[in-house]
Amino acid sequence: MAARFTLEVFVFDIVRAMELITILNHCHRHRGFVYQNARFSPDKKTIEVEVRPRQGAAAVCSGCHKPAPGYDHLPKRRFEFIPFWGILVFLLYQMRRVNCRNCGRVVVEEVPWGDGKHQLTRAYMLFLARWARKLSWKETAETFHTSWDKVCDAVEYVVVWGLEHRTLESIRAIGVDEIQYAKGHKYLTLVYQIDQGLTRLIWVGKERTIESFQGFFTVIGEKLASQIEFVCSDMWQPYLDVIRHKCSQALHILDRFHIVAKMNKALDEVRAAETRRMAQDGHAPLLKKSRWCVLKRKENLTSQQKFRLRDLLRYNLQTVRAYLLKEDFQQFWEYNSPTWAGTFLDFWCYQAMRSRIEPMKKIARTLRAHRALLLNYFKARKQFSSGVVEGLNNKAKVTMRRSYGFRTFRILELALYHSLAKLPEPELTHEFL
């Protein structure tokens, strides 16, 4: 009885092995190679499938990608494939070396399912990398019983492939922005393409210096740089300098979002200082809980906040005057004509300079210094939407926050390209995901 049972299991195993090979032949077939002999490992946690060259099929040299006569065999290598019902799957193959006349040396062969030194098959790397866009890298590793390092390896393969195969021709508009990462003052420079039909991350640079941003122009080359028509940036001086030098023909626009953010920051300083001063002088805590009343746009306030704001406006506080200046400035963006916008800007700066509120005066000085660039907004405003850079940068921040594993620049760079660069992917004959 026991013997018969073992035999049944044995037969069952063979049938199953054949089914697995049938499936593999259906979705992961490679000319010149055949699958044979699928079996469980002794602990039943792994399935191993042998691969051998088809009779008479010559090996392909990995140096020149041409068939070449065989030389010898290397020890058997294990290539990890997509797990099957929670069971790890490995393809076992003994790589051949070829004596390539083209390359003039003995070279290891090229196999269609693998790539260089990667332990994972291309199909599995693409599979993991696609999941790593939907889940965090850690979750991806947990879901497929693999390691974070292997997920990272998979993403790197897909990103490197994508960067090699992407096309950058005809970039009309770019946006440049910095993003803070890690603790302390570590920054990345991100460059986005913000054309109407295509928005994507096109470059990640370390630091936010002149040298680092110049790296972007080295990558795209002079011809592409000379075709850029619009550049959108914040007021960070190194960016302004590089853009003036490398994209002198482009219309340079200051990013609206950054100006609004600067304005809010100034207002917050005024409010905080005044709150402290009033508390020291023993006045009633008028400004308590006022932060959102003055920072939010009026139409976004809750009814209670509106009431509180109306209350505040009765007092001739610095905060109130700064608030009114900030609200007034919103009108700037409504203009159509650069001339009228300029007139408004000059008047606003004049008022702010007379306000005797230092943070607002500082803003006015900054705006005056960048007057020409600010007015470019009106010359270009119909060309592309100004919120694009902000939206992309928010996505970049989410990408960074999603994993604590992104500690080094390289990992962060990979993660950002992977989720924001819309890179092309290597093609497989079967869609596993």
Pairing type for strands 67-68 and 251-254 reads unpaired
Q: How far is the CB of 102 from Zn ion (least distance, A)?
A: 4
251 forms part of the interface with Zn ion (CB under 5 A): no
103 forms part of the interface with Zn ion (CB under 5 A): yes
Cα end-to-end distance, the chain, whole Å: 44
Stretch 256-315 residues interacting with Zn ion (CB under 5 A): none
Which residue, 61 or 320, has its beta carbon nearer to Zn ion? 61
Which residue, 64 or 411, has its beta carbon nearer to Zn ion? 64
Contact pattern for Zn ion over residues 138 through 177, marking x by CB under 5 A: ----------------------------------------
- Amino acid identity of residue 403, one-letter, is S
Which residue, 106 or 433, has its beta carbon nearer to Zn ion? 106
CA separation (Å) from 158 to 142, 331, 362?
20, 46, 47
Q: How far is the CB of 101 from Zn ion (least distance, A)?
A: 8
Q: How far is the CB of 95 from Zn ion (least distance, A)?
A: 15
- Amino acid identity of residue 182, one-letter, is A
Stretch that binds Zn ion, among 55-63, 171-179, 265-273, 299-307 (CB under 5 A): 55-63
Q: How far is the CB of 65 from Zn ion (least distance, A)?
A: 7
Which of 6, 22, 102, 336 contacts Zn ion by CB under 5 A?
102
Q: Let me know: does 126 contact 429? Beta carbons within 8 Å.
A: no
CA distance linking residue 374 with residue 265, whole number of Å: 19
Pairing type for strands 87-100 and 70-84 reads antiparallel
Which residue, 102 or 394, has its beta carbon nearer to Zn ion? 102
Q: Return the C-alpha torsion angle 224, 229, 233, 238, nearest 10.
A: 50
Helix, strand, or coil here: 231? strand
For the record, the structure tokens of 312 come out as 């505040």
Q: How far is the CB of 64 from Zn ion (least distance, A)?
A: 3
Stretch that binds Zn ion, among 21-29, 54-62, 76-84, 166-174 (CB under 5 A): 54-62
Q: How far is the CB of 32 from Zn ion (least distance, A)?
A: 16
CA distance linking residue 287 with residue 264, whole number of Å: 16
Which residue, 115 or 274, has its beta carbon nearer to Zn ion? 115
Which residue, 108 or 295, has its beta carbon nearer to Zn ion? 108
Q: What angle is formed at CA 209 by the lines to CA 200 and CA 214, rounded to 5 degrees?
A: 60
Which residue, 59 or 400, has its beta carbon nearer to Zn ion? 59
For the record, the structure tokens of 54 come out as 């088809």
CA distance linking residue 116 with residue 258, whole number of Å: 45
Which of 17, 51, 61, 322 contacts Zn ion by CB under 5 A?
61
For the record, the structure tokens of 320 come out as 């109130």
CA separation (Å) from 324 to 120, 204, 328, 329?
61, 39, 6, 9
- Size of residue set near Zn ion by CB under 5 A: 6
Q: Return the C-alpha torsion angle 109, 114, 120, 121, nearest 10.
A: -140
Which of 17, 59, 100, 389 contacts Zn ion by CB under 5 A?
100
64 forms part of the interface with Zn ion (CB under 5 A): yes
Of 152, 147, 105, nearest to 129 (Cα)?
A: 152
Stretch that binds Zn ion, among 101-109, 225-233, 237-245, 390-398 (CB under 5 A): 101-109
Stretch that binds Zn ion, among 63-71, 73-81, 301-309, 350-358 (CB under 5 A): 63-71
Question: Which residues here bind Zn ion, judged by CB under 5 A?
Answer: 61, 63-64, 100, 102-103
